[in-house]
Amino acid sequence: MPVADTSQLTSGVAERYASSLFELALEHGAVDSVTADLDRFQAMLDESAELKRFVASPVFSAEDQLKAIVAISERAGISGFFANFLKVVARNRRLFALPGMIRAFRLIAANYRGEISAEVISAHALSQAQETELKAALKSVTGKDVTISVTVDPSILGGLIVKVGSRQIDTSLRTKLSTLKLALKEVG
């Protein structure tokens, strides 16, 4: 029997939840405040391996997930629509899809504003100046304003991986080392 493609399942769940959150936020003029809360929560996910594990883990009951997500939201000053959204996601045992929901919301919001969105993976958090420089470089290539969603992944060692639409630019040190390793094998 074939194994279900969980990434596609997660993606569908993420897009449905993100779309609902965006429609609600738009209806109430709260897109900016929801985006700010969403960014704050993403920063917490990027900084805490423990929170990342908690969100991804199926071991906790819906009740435990709900209590923890309420405490985390309150401590981070997250309120309003996004706090309620997090509660619904926890109650429905969909926390595992939260990173995808955040990415999908950003894409929907950027599309609504007529911008294009880029997903950036960096070995370290980018400074404001680096983000501004990256946005300017991407705008010169695409001709449109670009919003970026940065995910920190130390395993790429250095450099960036940038995804804009179907295009991907990989300048990560990990990829360069892999290419070099392969070239050395061919020579030897």
When mean pLDDT is compared across 19-28, 33-42, 112-121, the lowest value belongs to 112-121
pLDDT in tens, 44-99: 988 888 999 999 888 888 899 999 999 999 998 998 989 999 999 999 999 999 99
What's the full length of the chain, in residues?
Answer: 188
DSSP letters spanning 42-59: HHHHHH-HHHHHHHH-S-
> In this structure, what token pair is assigned to residue 180?
């070099």
Whether the predicted pLDDT of 6 surpasses 50: no
What percent of the chain has a predicted confidence (pLDDT) above 90? 52
Q: What is the mean pLDDT of the chain?
A: 88
Distance between CA 74 and CA 28 in Å, rounded?
22
Distance between CA 86 and CA 97 in Å, rounded?
11
**Residues 6+ away with beta carbon under 8 Å from 113:** 145, 147
Residue given tokens 């179907």 in the structure block: 166
Phi, psi of 148 (to 5 degrees): -120, 145
- Report the pLDDT averaged over residues 123-139: 92
Q: What is the pLDDT of residue 34?
A: 95
Nearest in space to 89 (alpha carbons), one of 111, 120, 78: 78
Amino acid in the structure at residue 107? L
- Report the pLDDT averaged over residues 13-20: 93
**Residues 6+ away with beta carbon under 8 Å from 29:** none
Q: What is the pLDDT of residue 84?
A: 95
